[in-house]
A and B are shown apart, each in its own frame.
Chain A
Amino acid sequence: MTDIDQILKRTPLHALHVELGARMVPFAGYEMPVQYSPGVLKEHLHTREKAGLFDVSHMGQAFLSGADPARALERLTPADAVGLRPGRQRYGLLLNDHGTIKDDFMFSRLVGEDALYIVVNAGTKDGDFAYIADALTGVATIEPRPDRALLALQGPAAAAALERHAPGMDRLGFMQVTRATVAGAPAIVSRSGYTGEDGFEISLAADDAERVAKALLAEPDVLPIGLGARDSLRLEAGLCLYGHDIDETTDPVEANLVWSIAKRRKIDKDFPAAEAIMDRVFHGAARKRVGLRPEGRAPAREGAEIADKSGRIVGRVTSGGFGPTLNAPIAMGTVATKFAGDGTELDLIVRGKPLPARIVPLPFVPHRYRRAQ
């Protein structure tokens, strides 16, 4: 027990989680709140109906600086970094030399600043930063910022709640980003998140995190939400969880994330393993990430095999559970491309028995992002 306590890291909001009655679990090397007293189901539904505050301080924040950090970053991602306008944020895939997915991340260009602000996944951050530092030696410098906390305020009531502590933030459109003052603390605020809802991510100094979190939680519509609901929300939104739906065995085409490869990059083929990836963009990959709706109420979990109607294994569930908004089980998985068409009927093997399911378009629950005006 003591060993675990010593090994697990804590976010700046650890004491607040405990004070709020969270059930703490190990996640990506951190002791994190999986749920608070209402439980995953209610926390999930509350976020869809009103607003939820998530501690995502375990994620890896960094700044990439250099003569042309965007150009440098493009060595490692097929996203359009060079063309990212000031005040905008974008999703990117961090590719390894083989063109498979080392991580997925968000990057931002703040108005009037040369460095790019980057957020990568918690479980991969140390490896990512080492990889970026090594690959971009002499070209750009990655500066991890473990001194910063990250909050996500998500849901239809998020904008009104934030507006009272950071006037003007409602003017941001989806995937816009700015420096701002939130409840008196200097912050980087982006209109983005990972729930499929309108919302914001707020990066701030670790020392300010608890006070700002408490200010936001004092809003009547805002409840603290744990990682359990974060997972079911992102699954309903059809968003990938790194290490589960995508990893270093997946390329962007198999991951069904070709939209994150910019047009210019497709033409220039100047990203890792571009020839091979573009060949698959045009001719198809052997397998593809899809959405699955099991019949009935039994969820199929990660790792469940996917069989065609003759019983042959054609894929595997990569994320599966129960979608509280749909009040039904949902799953994502990879299947042989031949079976990836919408409406295809397959079986998920759950406890040795075939559970009928069909391929459905993603997301399961429509996104409600606030599009830029």
Chain B
Amino acid sequence: MSEVRYTDQHEWVRLDGDEATVGITKFAAEKLGDVVFVELPEAGRKIAHGGEAAVVESVKAASDVFAPLGGEVTASNDALAQEPAKVNEDPEGAAWFFKLRLDDRNAFAKLMTAEQYADFVKGQ
């Protein structure tokens, strides 16, 4: 059973075994507005926790997506290059950004739970 956790940078992280799938939350997608371009990391790249992992551009502005946890990129969602609007349509599903093989599985537990994130968003 996979679990989903959240960061204060408005990313969601779903853990399956030692592989984490990362995307941006519905809240983030709504804040960004219409997404027109997504730049994703290539498979094989090692990213430190908090390192720049991806860029998402809306009609309004560019935003960096930071790695919620450290690890090696195992896959990125190439479909977003063709259809960046998917990020607005299904941010927490089909529009995942990339997958990471985590350096440290235990770090996942330090991320916010869905409930904690919901509280966090209320304060935004």
- 10 A-B pairs in the complex with CB atoms less than 8 angstroms apart: A39-B33, A39-B34, A40-B59, A41-B34, A228-B59, A299-B57, A301-B62, A322-B36, A324-B59, A329-B36
Closest-by-CB residue of B relative to A296 is B37
The residues of A that contact B34 with a CB separation of less than 8 Å are 39-42
With A and B bound together, what is the CA distance between A41 and B88 in angstroms?
12
Against A, the Cβ 8 Å flags (1 = close, 0 = not) of B41-68 are: 0000000000000010111111000000
CB of B39 closer than 8 Å to a CB of A: yes
With A and B bound together, what is the CA distance between A42 and B37 in angstroms?
16
A322 and B59 in contact, given A39-B33, A297-B36, A299-B36 (Cβ under 8 angstroms): yes
Residues B59 and A321 in contact, CB atoms below 8 Å apart: yes
With A and B bound together, what is the CA distance between A41 and B34 in angstroms?
6
A299 and B33 in contact, given A322-B57, A351-B55 (Cβ under 8 angstroms): no
CB of A141 closer than 8 Å to a CB of B: no
With A and B bound together, what is the CA distance between A301 and B60 in angstroms?
10
Residues A298 and B37 in contact, CB atoms below 8 Å apart: yes
Q: With contacts defined as CB atoms under 8 Å apart, how many contacts are there between chain A and chain B in the complex?
A: 45
Residues A301 and B39 in contact, CB atoms below 8 Å apart: no
CB of A232 closer than 8 Å to a CB of B: yes
The residues of B that contact A297 with a CB separation of less than 8 Å are 36-37, 81, 84
How close is B37's CB to chain A, nearest CB, in angstroms?
A: 5
The residues of B that contact A195 with a CB separation of less than 8 Å are none
Closest-by-CB residue of A relative to B60 is A228
Interface majority SS (helix, strand, loop, mixed), chain A: mixed
Interface size class of A (residues with CB under 8 A): 10 to 19
The residues of B that contact A232 with a CB separation of less than 8 Å are 59
With A and B bound together, what is the CA distance between A41 and B58 in angstroms?
9
Beta-carbon contacts under 8 Å, A1-48 to B: 34-35, 39-42, 44
Q: Which of B33, B55, B57, B62 contacts A40 (CB 8 A)?
A: B33
Closest-by-CB residue of A relative to B31 is A23
How close is B91's CB to chain A, nearest CB, in angstroms?
A: 14
With A and B bound together, what is the CA distance between A297 and B58 in angstroms?
11
The residues of B that contact A40 with a CB separation of less than 8 Å are 33-34, 58-60
Beta-carbon contacts under 8 Å, A322-373 to B: 322, 324, 329, 351
How close is A25's CB to chain B, nearest CB, in angstroms?
A: 10
The residues of A that contact B61 with a CB separation of less than 8 Å are 301
Residues B37 and A41 in contact, CB atoms below 8 Å apart: no
Residues A299 and B60 in contact, CB atoms below 8 Å apart: no
With A and B bound together, what is the CA distance between A321 and B62 in angstroms?
9
The residues of A that contact B58 with a CB separation of less than 8 Å are 40
How close is A158's CB to chain B, nearest CB, in angstroms?
A: 22
The residues of B that contact A301 with a CB separation of less than 8 Å are 61-62
- Listed from nearest, the 4 A-B pairs whose CB atoms lie closest are A41-B34, A322-B36, A40-B59, A297-B37
The residues of B that contact A351 with a CB separation of less than 8 Å are 39, 55
The residues of A that contact B33 with a CB separation of less than 8 Å are 35, 39-41, 228
Against B, the Cβ 8 Å flags (1 = close, 0 = not) of A210-246 are: 0000000000000000001000100000000000000
The residues of A that contact B60 with a CB separation of less than 8 Å are 34, 40, 228, 321
The residues of B that contact A299 with a CB separation of less than 8 Å are 36-37, 57, 62
How close is B29's CB to chain A, nearest CB, in angstroms?
A: 11
Against B, the Cβ 8 Å flags (1 = close, 0 = not) of A113-132 are: 00000000000000000000
How close is A257's CB to chain B, nearest CB, in angstroms?
A: 26
The residues of B that contact A324 with a CB separation of less than 8 Å are 59
With A and B bound together, what is the CA distance between A297 and B59 in angstroms?
11
Beta-carbon contacts under 8 Å, B12-51 to A: 33-34, 36-37, 39
How close is B78's CB to chain A, nearest CB, in angstroms?
A: 13
The residues of A that contact B39 with a CB separation of less than 8 Å are 298, 351
How close is B17's CB to chain A, nearest CB, in angstroms?
A: 32
Closest-by-CB residue of A relative to B61 is A301
With A and B bound together, what is the CA distance between A321 and B61 in angstroms?
8
Interface centre among B36, B59, B81 (most CB of A within 10 A): B59
Closest-by-CB residue of B relative to A40 is B59
The residues of A that contact B37 with a CB separation of less than 8 Å are 297-299, 322, 329
Against A, the Cβ 8 Å flags (1 = close, 0 = not) of B78-102 are: 0001001000100000000000000
How close is A42's CB to chain B, nearest CB, in angstroms?
A: 8
How close is A313's CB to chain B, nearest CB, in angstroms?
A: 20
How close is B124's CB to chain A, nearest CB, in angstroms?
A: 13
Against B, the Cβ 8 Å flags (1 = close, 0 = not) of A290-324 are: 00000001110100000000000000000001101
The residues of A that contact B88 with a CB separation of less than 8 Å are 39
